[in-house]
Amino acid sequence: MKVIFKNGLQIIVGALVYALAINYFLIPNRIGEGGVTGLTALGYYTLRISPALTNIVLNGILILIGFKFLKRETVFYSLWAVLWISLFLRVPVFLPYHTTQTVIAAITGGVLMGISMGLIFRAKGTIAGSTILAKIVNRYFGIRNGSAMLFFDLIVAIPSGLVIGFQNMLLTVLELYVSAVVLNKYLDVFGAKRSVLVFSPKNQAIGEALSTQLGQGVTMLKATGFYSKKDMDALFYVCSNRDWTAVMPIIMSVDPDALVVTDQIRSVRGIHLLDL
């Protein structure tokens, strides 16, 4: 229940940031968007249809598609996000950001969009629209969320130049690129893991120290030196970026001469099985 409450609250914050980007930076400067959000902006520019109405109708359809390909948990969190985004989009706008330097609005809107989607993605949700499609592509093909989402968004953004003009279409592409980069960086920083491979005659002591101090499983692998033909233990450990700052000092305190190979990984499944 605590995790559900935390994710739900994080999605609300992400939805608020998303609505601020749309209502205060993109729409006031006639900058479009991709996916369903882009269609909501076009509907507003051409027919004055409420973005909240377009958002909830079109995203509702895509969430139904998500039921077939995504986890039920992701779909329900996405529905929660769409409801809050639609609610925040209906809040009156008091001080929209108008500027002749529209590139500032495009970059700022892109940064805010990237942060908002990062918050929602980290809470196991999506904002529906192209993010539903990006989640499906990520799950089945391993393509990064931000990159997949950028592809689907451009399908809507580029033709939008017929409505918002060529210059604003270019600004829209810039905003989408910035949001995709920010989203990928956000997920890398807050969602990625670190893997550590240690070669040391003191690996048993290192493994015990890591497990005791960080409370996470450690795996010992059997390795053989190619030239020496000697058998040894290779220690394999996966940790969060938060714990990473403590890993190297622990290893060095046990064996300053240990050979340590590290890498950043984007996805881990079944981490509890590493303590075998």
Report the distance separating Cα 3 and Cα 78, nearest Å: 16
Instruction: Go through the domains of the chain in sequence order and give each one's CATH number.
Output: 2-191 (no CATH), 193-274 (3.30.70.120)
In this structure, are residues 223 and 234 in contact, taking their beta carbons and an 8 Å threshold? yes
C-alpha neighbours within 13 Å on the C-beta side of residue 185: 10
Query: What's the DSSP call for residue 93?
Result: P
In this structure, are residues 146 and 184 in contact, taking their beta carbons and an 8 Å threshold? yes
Q: Could you list the pLDDT tens digit for every one of the 276 residues in the chain?
A: 788 899 999 999 999 999 999 889 988 888 877 777 677 777 777 778 777 777 777 777 777 777 777 778 888 888 898 889 888 988 888 888 888 888 999 999 999 999 998 999 888 887 777 777 777 777 777 777 777 877 878 877 777 777 778 888 888 889 988 988 898 888 777 766 788 899 988 888 998 888 888 877 788 888 887 787 788 888 898 887 777 788 889 999 999 988 888 887 765 555 444 444
What digits encode the pLDDT tens for the residues 59-93?
Answer: 777 777 777 777 788 888 888 988 898 889 888 88
> In which element (H, E) is residue 3 found?
helix 2-20
In this prediction the pTM is 0.67
What digits encode the pLDDT tens for the residues 220-239?
Answer: 888 887 787 788 888 898 88
